[in-house]
Structure 1
Amino acid sequence: MRKRITGPLFGCIVCIMGIFSNSCKKQDNFLDTKPNQSLNIPTTLEDLQRLLQNEDVFNSQPDPGLGQISSDDFVVQDEVLPDLSSPERNAYLWSKEIFDASVTQSVDWNFPYQIVYYANVVLDALPGIQVPDNQKASYEQVKATALFYRAWAFYALVQTFAMPYDKDKAASLPGIPLRLTSDLNSHPGRGSVAECYAQILSDLKTAQPALPEMASPPVKPSQIAVSALLARIYLAMGDYPNALAYANACLAKFSTLTDYNTLNSPGTTNIDKGFLSEDIYHSCLIGYSVYSIRRDMYIAPAFYNSYDPNDLRKSKFFTILDKLPQFPRFVGSYDYMGQKYDGLATDEIYLIKAECIARAGDGAGAMDLLNTLLKNRWKTGTFVPFTASGADEALLIVLKERKKELLLRGLGWTDLRRLNKEPRFAVTLRRTVAGVTYTLPPNDPRYAFPIPDIEIKLGGLTQNPR
């Protein structure tokens, strides 16, 4: 799957940008480097197509991981914390300061803005490229692909460095810088949260018609991927009618679910192609070292034990190391190399639809959708359909199963952020380390990570209160 584009043009851009390969090393800020513009201007449509084929940039490990570390998905043993990088350790403990004096850069900031830069290089170059009529469709598809990637990166950034969407406050809440040009001398201020979401939604809706219906393999954007991403975004915004509409649009064209009885243990990928059959768009979280720790990073036993013995996720997604049941380790991934997958897949879309129709009062319909998903997760012949007494109970069941199905998929942080807006679902997170209890109350300012200091200085940005 992993491809690195090479050649004079792309070697120059790679040199300029720096394809970051280690999330725990101090990185140079690519936005500080002023490239020789005469060397990195694409001149043909093929140049732009090749630039957008770099899976190292767009698919491998480009997505912020601090939120995943700050979520309640896993536990780290006390003695391991000093060995983590300071951003990992501080994020895990919900510290006010995330980046200490030894860390001047943030890969959670740099990697997504690298995607934005690539996308903007393409979008800026396109108006100067003339193509014959028989290449117009390709031209529009290149533009649409760049818009999708930019929207993907902006959404990841706003989930990390801005407070959760609130329709009553979005116009006044600070978002992220909306870089809409590849000019490195441009330093836009922080748009509002409302402006950020408007740009993301606009990019995606503009892109959708020109994209292919489905991408194979799923490392490129498609119309179905746009619908799936819009469903995810509208869910995060609390706009359940639109989330349902786009979940329906996605499932109307692609509703494949993988029967986990066909998967090897503990792997969860299709051996032939390296992609699971329900994978819509493939992307992974930045590979922080905490994920590679064995017994020292584990899942709370009570959560592990909430899986039914006949639920194949329990046997295929987890392993018990050294026969110590207090340390169940999560090993499942939709990425064949074992990276932490956070892409778009049909299981998430079924869960979005089930949640939305439960919120609309259709408890029975929500259970039908949930059962369609879960019967593909149980040992053949053992699944007993879930039932609910009404829509409220159905919603509780769906949210519980959402957490179990999407564990360590990069969605737990956004779910905490959005559900904290509802008092019935709001939670105070707690961790006890070396006898000290750390807490993160609902809607706390620490649900937005601090912007790296170098970006504050260079861009004149306002810092997030912590």
Structure 2
Amino acid sequence: MKRLIFLGMFLLLAFASCKKFLDAKSNQSQAIPETLPDLQALLDQYQHINYADGNAAEVSTDDIYLTDADLAARTENERNMYTWQRSNIFLQDSNEWFYNYRAINRTNVVLESIRKIDRNAGNAFEWDNVSGQAYYLRAKNHLRGLYVWGNAYDEQSGSELGVPLKLSADFNEPSTRATVEAGYAQVISDLKRAAAALPIKAVHVMRPSRPAAFALLARTYWSMRRYELSLLYADSCLLLKSDLLDYNLLNASAAYPIGQFNAEVLQDSYFTSPVLNNARGKINPSLYALYDANDLRRTIFFNDNKNGTFGFKGSYEGNSNFFSGLAVNEVLLIRSESLARAGKLLEALSDLNRLLRNRYRKNTFIEKSGADQKEVLDMVLLERRKELLLRGLRWVDVKRLNREGAGISFSRSVKGTVYSLKANSSAFALPIPERVIEIAGLEQNL
């Protein structure tokens, strides 16, 4: 029976990192986490947890483009990913799959270890908090895997292959690809456990909280097109936290105008990408053209390269890293879209107008109105496109909308050759790294 041998590295990395993060131990065998602070320390290592998100779901979209010269200077893997090739788009070892499952393995170490610690009146809050964080983070990473390597969820095609569901820290446990339906069911189960256990306010947004768990449930159901439930959980989140930044108060001339850990952030995660950074990645002109002169996002989000092109500087990380966590603006747009789909147009517009009042130059915004469901829904989807770019969400958004019949395709020209990705193509499920297929014997995406 073939096994995911390389997952063994996860335990070694987890234990070694724990040893550095906690009190020094005399040898490696003593570094096994034994207390709640030990387990919390494992979850607090941002480079393995918050920095685990990959960039494939964004490099593969149409938010940015590269000049032929810039693309030629990148690695073969990056060039293949950029043009939607079906092989060699990830490095063989330190790749997005590895980082994703390393984080999942760490959560499993925590969940198995915490069962050996008695929950009592004295430690109940801490015990629940640690447990809730681990369930949240396991769900988050399984969900990201589904977004990248699985097809869009559809009740008629839930039996399609998704990703392996790793629910044990035993690296000798064989791996098989679960169905997309089973994957989403596991994510939802974990998130419901997380929401029941997490506090309303975390010590820091690097850690998840109950509003963040509700937000991730809203995102999960939204990507499944189960809008009545995305509405329920978006509403639950916003009842607990609904802060919005007023972009009028930001300095548009700053290198990165939006501060890290700002008031909108529910849970902070991020990814990096040399392809996407504003020294290289150019904003798609059709995307930039969506912002009118009084829309502050035009100058808050984009850096004018003074040559007719624009780079992105609007990350909620306050630097060149790309925010991929959860924030109030996304949840507000999920609720607005879900309301519009339910025919509750006045409520949908109320959410949309609240967001936009904080995005337009003062005294210039004219509130949106409409009595036609499609018209209102189109307004919401347009603002979603403008508000949530370069967060790793465009890829799953297009897959979801294409299941609704949107017919969104991508195309790129490289040295005169046009590469295309047609709507609803199976290529919207990216190929799994070849090394994983070789070792684990998993079925490859076609």
- TM-score, structure 2 as length reference: 0.91
In structure 1, how many angstroms separate the alpha carbons of the residues matched to 2:336 and 2:13? 44
- Determine if the alignment matches structure 1 residue 149 to structure 2 residue 149: no
* Matched residue type, 1:52: L
Query: What is the match of residue 236 of structure 2?
Result: 249
Could you tell me whether the CA contact under 8 Å between 1:363 and 1:393 is conserved in 2? Answer: no
- Determine if the alignment matches structure 1 residue 221 to structure 2 residue 221: no
Match of 1:343 among 325, 332, 335: 325
1:142 partner SS: helix
Query: What is the match of residue 128 of structure 2?
Result: 140
In structure 2, how many angstroms separate the alpha carbons of the residues matched to 1:403 and 1:47? 41
2:124 partner SS: helix
Query: What is the match of residue 426 of structure 2?
Result: 445
In structure 2, how many angstroms separate the alpha carbons of the residues matched to 1:337 and 1:330? 10
In structure 1, how many angstroms separate the alpha carbons of the residues matched to 2:45 and 2:349? 41
> What are the superposed Cα offsets for residues 89-145 of structure 1, whole Å, 9 maximum, x if unpaired?
112111122437xx3235210111111011011111112223543112311221111
* Matched residue type, 2:138: R
148-157 or 49-58: bigger deviation:
49-58
Query: What is the match of residue 109 of structure 2?
Result: 121
- Determine if the alignment matches structure 1 residue 373 to structure 2 residue 360: no
In structure 2, how many angstroms separate the alpha carbons of the residues matched to 1:37 and 1:183? 18
In structure 1, how many angstroms separate the alpha carbons of the residues matched to 2:19 and 2:57? 28
- Determine if the alignment matches structure 1 residue 50 to structure 2 residue 29: no
Match of 1:14 among 12, 17, 24: 17
In structure 2, how many angstroms separate the alpha carbons of the residues matched to 1:268 and 1:195? 41
Could you tell me whether the CA contact under 8 Å between 1:12 and 1:39 is conserved in 2? Answer: no
Q: RMSD between aligned alpha carbons?
A: 2.0
Match of 2:274 among 280, 284, 289: 289
Could you tell me whether the CA contact under 8 Å between 2:262 and 2:316 is conserved in 1? Answer: yes
Post-superposition shift, 1:188?
Answer: 2.2
Q: Map of 1:9-158 to 2, 5 A cutoff?
A: 12-14=15-17, 38-59=29-50, 61-99=51-89, 103-105=91-93, 107-130=95-118, 132-158=120-146
- Determine if the alignment matches structure 1 residue 307 to structure 2 residue 291: yes
* Matched residue type, 1:57: H
Query: What is the match of residue 394 of structure 1?
Result: 376
Query: What is the match of residue 334 of structure 1?
Result: 316
Query: What is the match of residue 264 of structure 2?
Result: 278
**Any gaps of 5 or more consecutive residues in structure 2?**
1-11, 21-26
What number of residue pairs does the alignment pair up? 427
In structure 1, how many angstroms separate the alpha carbons of the residues matched to 2:181 and 2:130? 27
Q: Map of 1:319-330 to 2, 5 A cutoff?
A: 319-321=303-305, 323-325=306-308, 327-330=309-312
> What are the superposed Cα offsets for residues 63-87 of structure 1, whole Å, 9 maximum, x if unpaired?
1211101111111111211212223
Post-superposition shift, 1:300?
Answer: 2.3
Structure 1: 4+ residue segments shifted above 4 A: 9-12
- Determine if the alignment matches structure 1 residue 430 to structure 2 residue 420: no
> What are the superposed Cα offsets for residues 141-197 of structure 1, whole Å, 9 maximum, x if unpaired?
211111111001100111111111111111x21111111111111122111111111
1:194 partner SS: helix
Query: What is the match of residue 463 of structure 1?
Result: 444
In structure 1, how many angstroms separate the alpha carbons of the residues matched to 2:314 and 2:185? 34
User: Relative contact order: is structure 1 or structure 2 higher (C-alpha 8 Å, sep ≥ 6)?
Assistant: 2
Query: What is the match of residue 25 of structure 1?
Result: none
Q: Map of 1:138-217 to 2, 5 A cutoff?
A: 138-170=126-158, 172-217=159-204
Query: What is the match of residue 238 of structure 1?
Result: 225
> What are the superposed Cα offsets for residues 277-312 of structure 1, whole Å, 9 maximum, x if unpaired?
111111112x12112352x42112232122111111
Query: What is the match of residue 398 of structure 2?
Result: 416
In structure 1, how many angstroms separate the alpha carbons of the residues matched to 2:92 and 2:345? 50
Post-superposition shift, 1:387?
Answer: 2.2
**Any gaps of 5 or more consecutive residues in structure 1?**
1-8, 18-35
In structure 2, how many angstroms separate the alpha carbons of the residues matched to 1:11 and 1:230? 27
Could you tell me whether the CA contact under 8 Å between 2:77 and 2:88 is conserved in 1? Answer: yes
* Matched residue type, 1:213: I
Post-superposition shift, 1:389?
Answer: 4.2
* Matched residue type, 1:364: L
2:418 partner SS: strand
Match of 2:342 among 360, 365, 369: 360
2:47 partner SS: helix
- Determine if the alignment matches structure 1 residue 382 to structure 2 residue 364: yes
Query: What is the match of residue 246 of structure 2?
Result: 259
In structure 2, how many angstroms separate the alpha carbons of the residues matched to 1:78 and 1:275? 36
In structure 1, how many angstroms separate the alpha carbons of the residues matched to 2:114 and 2:290? 52
Could you tell me whether the CA contact under 8 Å between 1:160 and 1:448 is conserved in 2? Answer: yes
